[in-house]
Amino acid sequence: NAGVTQTPKFQVLKTGQSMTLQCAQDMNHNSMYWYRQDPGMGLRLIYYSASEGTTDKGEVPNGYNVSRLNKREFSLRLESAAPSQTSVYFCASSAGSDGETQYFGPGTRLLVL
Amino acid sequence: AQSVTQPDIHITVSEGASLELRCNYSYGATPYLFWYVQSPGQGLQLLLKYFSGDTLVQGIKGFEAEFKRSQSSFNLRKPSVHWSDAAEYFCAVGSNSGYALNFGKGTSLLVTP
């Protein structure tokens, strides 16, 4: 099993450009999440999808949109990239109940110039 | 809101020495607590978790953690550190955002010969 996969691995954007980060899981998990990781800040939740068909804002949702395309896929879109969105983005999934382990993808490194 | 604090940003230990990484949490009820490890350029891997039962939890790679409700702590320990343990370690607690996690800011472990 691949677990959680993310594409692309690395991306450079210019300010104002848009892009979509893709995430897919093959563990039949109900819940999926997008986090960003910045130096000295740990991981912060951008958006989450507790179950197929639902999405909700996390701690830092401004400048992002998400789509839960189906049970496997959860994409993150930057409509107009800003330098403040330079970060490492992690997708994760879990079965969808308290105490369940979250499984993380390898991350997407995004640089916005 | 649930939160975790990792007081130590960086820790340096000699190979073969014992290790303790600190984590303090803020939570109203019984928390779900996790320790994750991140090797350079990689995603996060679960070391261990606590959600009920025995307060001493065993994990992978020889790590253990002890839940102490009276001290609001969930410290990670290893009796003898190996060079391959050099990584970033994150403590996390269950959040109010579905089943997402609130992460601490991380502790960077350096292992010297």
Average pLDDT over residues B92-111: 88
More confident residue, A22 or B100: A22
Q: Would you call A48 an interface residue with chain B, using a CB distance cutoff of 8 Å?
A: yes
Instruction: List the 94-113 stretch of A: residues with Cβ below 8 A of B.
Output: 94, 96-107
What residues in A contact B103, CB-CB < 8 Å? 35, 42-44
Where residue B97 falls among pLDDT bands split at 50, 70, 90? low
Choosing among A43, A46, A104, which should be mutated to test the B contact, i.e. which has the most B CBs within 10 A? A43
- Residue A63, phi then psi, degrees to nearest 5: 90, 0
Tell me, what's the pLDDT at B5? 95
Q: Kindly determine whether residue B49 and residue A101, on different chains, have CB atoms separated by under 8 Å.
A: yes
Could you tell me which chain B residue has the CA closest to the CA of A31? B99
